[in-house]
């Protein structure tokens, strides 16, 4: 009985870890129509108040509700990608030293509603 429970637990853990790897792989950004997008095609943005190379994000609290940070995957994609540490300790993906964000008002892949929002939010061009 105990061996059966252990095997079942190990099988569940393997499935969860396998799913996590797939989720991480799916979170890799890509270029589409001249801009950087998430794996699901959602436009990625940068924030002018973020200082490139500082390793920090200036968008926290309510700002991060409207502009969700892109979590850093377990393995960085090749190229100009890096990781910044957010105020809450989580890791955020950055491109060319600037943290990457989604825009909550973009509801469908390809939307670019946040471009030039308040003249400080911009689509990211690879």
> What b/e string do you get for 40-71 counting C-beta neighbours within 10 Å, with b at 16 or more?
eebbbbbbeebeeeeeebebeeeebeebebbb
pLDDT tens digits, 33-91: 999 999 999 999 999 999 988 999 999 999 999 999 999 998 888 889 999 999 999 99
Q: How far apart are CA 124 and CA 115, in angstroms?
A: 9
Q: How far apart are CA 18 and CA 6, in angstroms?
A: 18
Q: How far apart are CA 50 and CA 25, in angstroms?
A: 26
Top pLDDT among 92 and 9 is at: 92
pLDDT tens digits, 89-112: 999 999 999 999 999 999 999 999
Q: How far apart are CA 77 and CA 65, in angstroms?
A: 25
Q: Would you state the pLDDT for residue 99? A: 98
| Residues forming beta bridges with residue 83, ordered by sequence position | 93
């Amino acid at each position: 009985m105990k061996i059966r429970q252990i095997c079942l637990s190990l099988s569940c853990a393997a499935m969860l870890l396998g799913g996590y790897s797939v989720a991480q792989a799916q979170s890799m950004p890509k270029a589409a129509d001249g801009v950087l997008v998430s794996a699901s095609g959602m436009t990625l943005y940068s924030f002018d108040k973020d200082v490139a190379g500082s390793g920090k994000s200036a968008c926290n609290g309510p700002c991060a509700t409207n502009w969700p940070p892109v979590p850093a995957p377990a393995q960085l994609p090749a190229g100009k990608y890096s990781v910044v540490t957010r105020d809450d300790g989580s890791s955020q993906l950055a491109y060319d030293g600037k943290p990457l964000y989604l825009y909550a008002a973009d509801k469908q892949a390809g939307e670019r509603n946040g471009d030039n929002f308040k003249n400080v939010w911009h689509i990211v061009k690879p």
